[in-house]
Amino acid sequence: MTVAAEGSSPPLRMAGSRRSPLLQSEAVQGFALISPTFVYALILLVLPILVVIAHSFWTQNYLTIDHTFTLENYRIALTEPIYRDLL
């Protein structure tokens, strides 16, 4: 029999395989794989929603937007009958 068949040879280690036990976890590897997609989705989905919410607190005078915080748009939407009918 050969030496390799008897199992007496030491296991071969690949160079650069000295990773911390945390990085060898399947959960951490899964999060590392999905994190770029998650960040991309966050930017493309959540950011526009936040911009729309911010615009809902501003007023518009024809082509200019007044960036002062106001609840006027919500007051109009809740008191005008046309908005109730549309909803």
* CB 58, CB 68: distance < 8 Å: yes
Domain ranges of the chain: 24-54, 57-87
CA–CA separation, 53 and 28 (whole Å): 34
pLDDT in tens, 48-66: 999 999 999 998 888 888 8
Average pLDDT rounded to a whole number, residues 8-12:
57
Query: Which residues lie below 8 Å from residue 22, measured CB to CB, with a gap of 6+?
Result: 28
Which pTM was predicted?
A: 0.55
pLDDT in tens, 65-78: 889 999 998 999 89
